[in-house]
Amino acid sequence: MQKIKKSKFLCLSIILFLLVGSFSFSSALAAEPRSGGTLSITDFSFSSARTLDPHLAQAAGSMRFIENMYNTLLKYKKAEYGSITGDLAKNYTITNDGKKYTFKLYQGVKFHDGSELTSADVKFSIERIIAKKVRAQQFSGVDKIETPDKYTVVITLKEPVAPFLTYLAYPMNAIVSQKITESNNNDLSSIDAGSGPFKLNLWERDQYLILDKFNDYFIQGKPYLDRVYLKVIDDETARTTALRNQELDLILQVSAKNIDRLAQYPDINVKSVAGTYWEYLGLNTRKGPLADKKVRQAIAWGINRATLNKMVKFDKATVLTSGPIPPGHWAADDLAVYPAQDLAKAKKLLADSDYSNGFETTLIVLSNPDQLNAAQVIKAQLAPLGIKVKIKSLESSVYFDKLGSGDFDMTVIGWVGFVDPDEYLYNIFHTDGIWNQQGYSNPEVDQLLEDGRRTSDQATRKEIYQKAQTIIAQDAPMVFLYVNPQASALQDYVKGFDINPTVTTISLVDTWLDQSAE
Amino acid sequence: MREFCYRFYKNKLAFLGFIILFIFLVMAIFAPYLAPYDPFQMDPQAMLQPPGADHLFGTDQFGRDILSRIIFGSRISFKVGLISVGLSLIVGVSMGIVAGYYGGWLDNLISRIMDVMFSFPQIFLALVIMAVLGTSSTNLMLAIGLVYIPIFGRIARASVLSIKDSLYIEAANSIGVSNLIIMLRHILPNIMAPIIVQTTLSFGFAIRAEAALSFLGLGVEADIPSWGIMLNQGKDWMEMAWWNAVFPGLSATLAILSFNILGDGLRDALDPRLRNEGE
Amino acid sequence: MWRYITKRILIAIPVLIGISIVAFFLIRLVPGDTVTALLGANYNQEQAAALRADYGLDKPLITQYLIWVKNLLKGDFGHSFFTNQAVSSSIMERLPVTFELMIMSFIYCLLIAIPLGAVASLKKNSLLDYLATIFGLLGVSIPNFWLATILILVFSLHMGWFPSGGFVSFFADPIANLRYMFLPSIALGASVGAVVMRMTRSSMLEILKQDYIEMARAKGVSQKILIISHALKNALIPVITVLGIQMGYLLGGSVIIEQIFSLPGIGRLALQAITNRDYILMQGSILFVAAGFVIINLLVDLIYALINPQIRY
């Protein structure tokens, strides 16, 4: 017996992102979309682009370069963070036990070489993702993939995985052409094997990527733009100057300090939504003073998140007072575990621990300016507690090696792009989580996270995740600092672009240039 | 000696360099007494203040006083200069003297090693070494020191070769004075002039290298008030708070300039025939 | 003459071998490796071990070195772990940018520094001479990266005359290319220009003191011709040596300048490779920079030997 359960999996309860909604809505009313034109876009992450293979891409820059060349089975719904809608899948059904997914594909979808996209390509792609290891764990629950006909894909899971649809919408879980992939010896690092709205024209490494309109795109009339020019500009000053001089149309992510300044220019819009990029102070619970829960709690009370927000983010970020899921997300924790800095409480907790006279510790950090700055403020804020922090900034390869092997005391870093609460919590706070870098372990939390993964009812999941976050915040393997806004700066005439909390640019398919406003 | 002092004093520019350096030195030594603020003190109420009565050179993103950080920064610059130049001076000159004095395979080996080190652009080699060692002030001094070893080595070797066959060395040799004594007592003092000049100039290079590497994020630790670190952070504020990028750079330029004109002056005073330009 | 040239080239061979050893082993000492950099935030130990085996990074270092050298001799620089692109083509892609930057800086030196130095020497102790002296001193003292910052602040942010960073190929748009390259080449060329100017001035002064010039002067040859034909020609011999040394300096300085102005040149390639621990690409680009440096020095020595036959080793 099968029953359509689509609506249950759509997380429609998100209201706080109305800002995006109203923005794209009003621009849609202003004029009819027109075809034509070139859009130049840049982002600090573009310099990290290393490969065009979606199944190997890890760096944000690679993802931005790739995501418009391909389609996925499902995609994030525009302006509704957390919601999923069909992309290549016209519709889908899920059995009641939550294990069997049946997807019906659109017919007549073409790859950029003109061949048709069929269920065989979908099967091939998911198997390739698993073989390429990078995101294999998202599909570790897959039991088998069947293709009863050219336009039907049936995926059977070993056990229910609540965020499975969210995974399928992840832009890098792209459907690639089996034919093109195989004729290139399985190497997609610099070619295009997709069916997306734009096709690869030219990639000059560390300079730019040019995407051209795909005329046979399966949605009639789209995309509107003839060409998208993704430029690598490393320096933030250079980016903002270029936007002011109209050499650019869009800066994907504007840093906090530039938000107000760019907004002063009459032709430039700065649009900002609550983002998904949250930053934290990680405390290694495996060894030394930080293994002591009281010491960690003392640090959590001793940090002044508001001052950090002011000095590092110019009050543009949203302070996190409990777990990592940002306020506004349906699974955010309503309970403020750390409403404000409380030095007296921090000192008392520290006095009760074995480290009443304070201690010395090392904080490792990447050369990311905001995180380096946060580290300096944290160092100053912990000094009154007698905690002497030494800051060590490391190259990314060394840094992630230390983080992954648990060879550190403290760190400041962040995560970005999560949608489902399971993504926010399971891999990071479960005892066996693959990114449990803090070495945190609490059986109660483990149980909650496992339950959350298997439950499909959103109200129940909400309760589970709120409880888990409260416990995690109290145990303090991390001091949650803030969530960054996702702010883009664009020229007035750029319409239909959705500023997405996950930073994805998949809305370029709907983007157009309003020549009358130019 | 008296003639040297006279010639040096007569060179007004070099004397000016000497005076400026003396001021920097005083700043570095008495930094805690001279700085109007604690260079680490953050103040959320005084973020990015322009230069004014309260803060002569303004404040940075964290409300820290830039003048105080520049004063403390002179400590870092001088420390890095002193230790790294000391390292290349001692190692380089010893290697150069040994190579020049003994000759043969030892000379060949040392010279080839120096050739290899010389085949990397200095700042580039220092960058790679810093990537190997990781950012820290100790590593930075080591990296800069290593990079300048071959310069001292070559100068010392060339100078030794020019006096090795002179009568008094041969005389010392023939009466059985040990090699070590000859090198220390007779050779070293006679090649001092070019080495003193090179040492002075190297201080300028070392200060520049510290600033450049820290500017690229491969120098001293990020929370140390060094001129390079301040410039690294200041470049992001060029448009909104120019004082963050301008004053630390001015200090570095002034210090390097002083070492350069002092070096030029010493060269003229010690040995007017020495006139090789370049780095 | 030929003996000297052969000898200089033979000396360069052990140096190049030494460079290859340094380039290879220095990099292996760098903490962190390609695989951790590749995996980035998604790092976990099992994945890392699997990838390491895939890339042959689990073989002994000596074996890895010998394989690399063997391929080098065949003209194969290897492939980058990150991009799977051939190292030689990565280098060839970026070489024109660094080359253009160096050439443009060089041209400024020739156009401004040599005439300025010559004129200053003729009008010793004039206002112009003092200005030239100040320019020379500031030029050698001002750190190039700070000069770059100031140039961006003034000419790009305030005046809006030049872009503050980025690059357009000369063949795509020559005018845009020159606009992008202007500030970087000034920032890079300033100190070299200053050194060349000072050298020209001092060697001109030396020559002007010499007897034959005095004699020519006494005979009444017009001053202008005299300067051009005799003095400058002779004065340029040491200037050429200095220029050669400075070419190497330009190569080193371009690493920083490319970084500040986001120019996709060799220096930035090397820095990125270091950050990513992209061994093969790092080795290739470091070797390339160093070998370029050796070759420039070799050429300078040879040219110097040609124009000044008295100098022999």
Position A13 in a domain: no
Collect all residues of chain C within an 8 Å Cβ-Cβ radius of residue B261. Answer: 137
Instruction: Write out chain C residues lying below 8 Å of B208, CB-based.
Output: 143
CA distances to A367, A413, B7, B27, B217 from A372, rounded to whole Å, are 6, 10, 50, 28, 11
Measured distance CA(A358)–CA(A387) in Å, rounded? 5
Average pLDDT rounded to a whole number, residues A61-66: 94
Q: Do B134 and A394 touch (CB under 8 A)?
A: yes
B-C CB pairs within 8 A amount to: 131
C1 or A355: which leads in pLDDT: A355
Q: Is the peptide bond before C238 cis (omega within 30 degrees of 0)?
A: no
Instruction: Report the share of chain C in percent with pLDDT over 70.
Output: 84
Q: Mean pLDDT, to the nearest integer, of A120-134?
A: 92
Q: What is the pLDDT, as a whole number, of residue C43?
A: 64
A29 found inside a domain: no
Tell me if C141 and B257 make a contact (CB, 8 A cut-off).
Answer: yes
Residue C88: the pLDDT is 86
pLDDT for residue A178 is more than 90? yes
- Cβ–Cβ gap C84/A395 under 8 Å: no
* A240-256 pLDDT per residue, tens: 888 988 889 999 999 88
Residue B8: its pLDDT value, please? 64
B235 and A237: CB-CB below 8 Å? yes
Question: Could you read off the pLDDT of C70-81 as tens digits, one per residue?
Answer: 888 888 888 887
- Tell me, what's the pLDDT at A210? 95
Specify the number of domains making up chain C: 1
* C83, C151, C171, best to mutate vs chain A, most A CBs in 10 Å: C83
Contact indicator for A170, A423 with CB cutoff of 8 Å: no
What's the confidence (pLDDT) of residue B44? 85
Residue A424 maps to which CATH number?
A: 3.10.105.10
Residue B134 with chain A: CB contacts under 8 Å: 392, 394-395, 398
Question: 3-state SS string over chain C?
Answer: CHHHHHHHHHHHHHHHHHHHHHHHHHHHCCCCCHHHHHHHHHCCHHHHHHHHHHCCCCCCHHHHHHHHHHHHHCCCCCECCCCCCEHHHHHHHHHHHHHHHHHHHHHHHHHHHHHHHHHHHHCCCCHHHHHHHHHHHHHHHCCHHHHHHHHHHHHHHHCCCCCCCCCCCCCCCHHHHHHHHHHHHHHHHHHHHHHHHHHHHHHHHHHHHCHHHHHHHHHCCCHHHHHHHHHHHHHHHHHHHHHHHHHHHHHHHHHHHHHHCCCCCHHHHHHHHHHHCCHHHHHHHHHHHHHHHHHHHHHHHHHHHHHCCCCCC
**Chains interfacing with B (3 or more CB pairs < 8 Å):** A, C
User: In this structure, which amino acid lies at residue A50?
Assistant: R
Mutation target among B20, B128, B214, B273 for the C interface, most CBs of C within 10 A: B128
Reported as a single tens digit per residue, the pLDDT across A480-509 is 999 999 999 999 999 999 998 889 999 999
Interface partners of chain A (CB pairs < 8 Å, 3 or more) are: B, C
Mean pLDDT of chain C: 79
Give a yes or no: residue A363 inside a domain. Answer: yes
Residues in A closer than 8 angstroms to B223, CB to CB, are 375-376, 379, 391
- SS3 label, residue A101: strand
Mean pLDDT is lowest, of A228-232, A332-336, B14-18, B179-183, for B179-183
CA distance C61 to C24: 9
Assess C40–A contact: CB distance below 8 Å, yes or no. yes
The per-residue pLDDT of chain A, averaged, comes to 88
Position with higher pLDDT, B179 vs A339 = A339
Total residue count of chain C as it appears in this document: 313
**Cβ–Cβ contacts within 10 Å for residue C211, how many?**
7
Percentage with pLDDT > 90 across chain A: 65
Whether residue C298 lies inside any domain: the answer is no
B198 vs C58, more confident: B198
Under the banding of pLDDT at 50, 70 and 90, the label for residue A434 is confident
Q: Which domain holds residue C175?
A: 94-272
Write the ipTM.
Answer: 0.84
Residue B276: pLDDT over 50: no
Q: Is the pLDDT of residue C166 over 80?
A: no
At residue A198 the predicted structure's pLDDT band, cuts being 50, 70 and 90, is very high
Q: Which token pair is C212? A: 């034959």
The answer on pLDDT for B278 being more than 50 is no
- Give residue A30's pLDDT band: very low, low, confident or very high (50, 70, 90): low
**pLDDT tens digits, residue range B122-162?**
888 888 888 878 888 899 999 999 999 998 998 888 888 87
Query: The domain spanning residue C153 has which CATH number?
Result: 1.10.3720.10
How far is the alpha carbon of C194 from chain A, nearest alpha carbon, in Å?
A: 28
pLDDT value at residue A480: 96
Locate the domains of chain B by residue range.
Answer: 16-25+65-278
Range of the domain at A145: 70-178
Query: Among the three residues A147, A178, A209, which one is the final residue of a domain in this structure?
Result: A178
Which position has the higher pLDDT, B171 or C190? C190
CB contact under 8 A, C30 and B256: no
- Return the pLDDT at A15: 34
Q: Does C129 touch chain A (CB under 8 A)?
A: no
Q: Distance between CA atoms of A245 and A255, rounded to whole angstroms?
A: 19
Would an 8 Å CB–CB cutoff place A36 in contact with chain B? no
Question: Quick one: pLDDT at residue A111?
Answer: 96
Q: Are A336 and A461 part of one and the same domain?
A: yes
Can you give the pLDDT at residue A429?
95
What pLDDT, on the 0 to 100 scale, is given for residue A228? 96
C262 located within any domain: yes
- Give pLDDT, residue A19: 37
Looking up tokens 């001129």, which residue turns up? B227
The pLDDT tens digits of the residues spanning B218-253 come to 888 888 889 999 998 888 888 788 899 899 999 999
Q: List all residues of chain A from 88 to 117 with a beta carbon under 8 Å from chain C.
A: none
* Domain-embedded: residue C76: no
Q: In the prediction, which pLDDT does C211 show?
A: 63
What span, in angstroms and rounded, lies between the C-alpha atoms of C203 and C207?
6
Q: How far is CA B91 from CA A490, B126, B127, in A?
A: 57, 17, 21
In this predicted model, which residue has the larger pLDDT, B71 or C307?
Answer: B71
User: Taking 90 as the threshold, does the pLDDT of residue A148 lie above it?
Assistant: yes
Domain B16-25+65-278 has CATH 1.10.3720.10: yes
Domain boundary among A126, A146, A178: A178
Q: Are A198 and A211 in contact (CB under 8 A)?
A: yes
Q: Is residue A240 part of a domain?
A: no
More confident residue, A162 or B8: A162
Chain C residue with CA closest to B261: the answer is C137
Q: Report chain B's mean pLDDT, rounded to a whole number.
A: 85
Angle at C105 between CA C104 and CA C110, to 5 degrees: 95
Subunit contact A237:C48, Cβ cutoff 8 A: no
Tell me the C-alpha to C-alpha distance, in Å, between residue C255 and each of A14, B32, B151, C28. Answer: 48, 36, 21, 21
- Does residue A104 belong to any structural domain of this protein? yes
pLDDT at C74: 84
> How many CB contacts within 8 angstroms connect chain A with chain C?
116
Statement: residue A9 has pLDDT above 80? no
A184 is a domain residue: no
Residue C82 lies in a domain: no
Chain A residue closest to B239 (CA)? Answer: A237
Q: What is the pLDDT of residue C67?
A: 83
Which site among C27, C134, C141 would you substitute to test the B interface, given the most B Cβ atoms closer than 10 Å to its Cβ?
Answer: C141
List the single residue in B112, B234, B252 with the smallest CB-CB distance to C143.
B252
User: Taking the model in full, what pTM does it have?
Assistant: 0.81
- Decide if pLDDT at C51 tops 90: no
One-letter identity of residue C97: V
Residue finishing a domain among A162, A178, A194:
A178
Mutation test of the interface with chain B: which of A245, A305, A395, choosing the one with the most B Cβ atoms within 10 A? A395
Do B238 and C152 make contact, defined as CB atoms within 8 angstroms?
yes
pLDDT per position as a tens digit, B18-59? 899 999 999 999 989 988 999 988 888 888 888 988 888 999
Angle at B220 between CA B214 and CA B221, to 5 degrees: 115
Q: What is the pLDDT of residue B159?
A: 83
Give the model's confidence band at A6: pLDDT under 50 very low, under 70 low, under 90 confident, else very high: very low
The total of structural domains in chain A comes to 2
Q: What is the structure's pLDDT at C111?
A: 85
Q: What does the pLDDT look like over C233-255, one tens digit per residue?
A: 777 777 777 777 777 778 888 88
**Contact criterion met (CB < 8 Å) for A398 and C36:** yes
Name the pairing type of β-strands A250-251 and A478-491.
Answer: antiparallel
